[in-house]
Structure 1
Amino acid sequence: MSFGNSVEAGPSRIPLGDTSDTQQAMMEIPSTGLKFFEYRRRLFLAGLQLPTPPANCEIPATYLVPAPPDPLPAINPSDVTSTAVQRLEDVLKVEGSEELQETWENGVGRIARSLHDGKRLARGLRLGLVIKILKASWIQDGLWPKDELGRPVKPPNSPIIEGVELFPEDSMSRPEVVAEVKAAGKS
């Protein structure tokens, strides 16, 4: 363990099995910032605990850590969708449908009240659908901002952070990205 410019943080969980597996590649990451966040995110997605830095020294500029593991495979919801959920998705799939009183009365209001009351729903809902339901409830309650014409304001786009892949596990499932990564590794 070196205390100069970087400090070594061991893995939080060493895989059991062949001893050659424990000799994994190490990488240096900063102790703060986007690379540090991305490293912690990859550990979280792989189901591993975060390594703990030594408590007897101040925070170093960089850590020497094991390379992050691949994320766990995504759990896909079943292809069977209930008719109630399908009807709700059909009502909310039109752009701006959250703003309409008719949409609120066609069941969105009932589900929004259940969500606000913390009740368990009979069927799980996609996150995008839950967001639309919450937006509709905020519009109904007068909590969503309105423009000068009284229409609900569109939220701003999320910022794009240069050099940060928000969903690297999705890009690795696309064949063209896998081929590009392999080609980059050979050069």
Structure 2
Amino acid sequence: MPALGACAVESEGSTVAPAASSPATTTTTDASLPRSNPTHVRIPKIGVESTLVPLGLNKDGTLQVPPLNQAMQAGWYRLGPTPGEVGPAVIAGHVDGDGHKGVFYDLKSLAPGDDIDIDREDGTTAHFRVDHVSEVPKNAFPTEAVYGDTDTPELRLITCGGAFDRSARSYVDNIIVFADLT
């Protein structure tokens, strides 16, 4: 699988997602929810509240990201599981854009036990609890850990982090939050 991170500053995106991502094919558990598109994300600890726009893939196979001129907009990877379904649902957002803080500016401050709520079109809310937070170099992006099948409903939040490479106009790392449905 390809392996790069999300959230380039001057481009539409750089997360390489699996080309044929689809909802996980593992057996669902009683704790999972049926497929339903997510509409909002809320992360109380860092004051995040955003609607969610669907994201697909760019022509080069990278994950689309919300427009930089809408740095406070988060998006969900529509070609994977929806939040609450078995498998890893992925939500991406900018750390900054157009000289302003982005929706996931404080993502790196999340810690195990913090809450994340995802409202869904079916009227339910998928409640997740942070398991761990990783900062990884984009050139060592853990594609399988982020997009690979899981046997439980999980959530991944992705943004940029680390140093800013002015020549590449991008951050060198990604911040990835791993969370489990409660």
Larger proportion of helix: 1
Measured against the shorter chain, the TM-score band is under 0.3
Q: TM-score, normalised by structure 1?
A: 0.19
Structure with bigger gyration radius: 1
TM-score, normalised relative to structure 2: 0.20
As a proportion of its length, which structure holds more strand? 2
Where relative contact order (Cα < 8 A, 6+ residues apart) is larger, the structure is 2
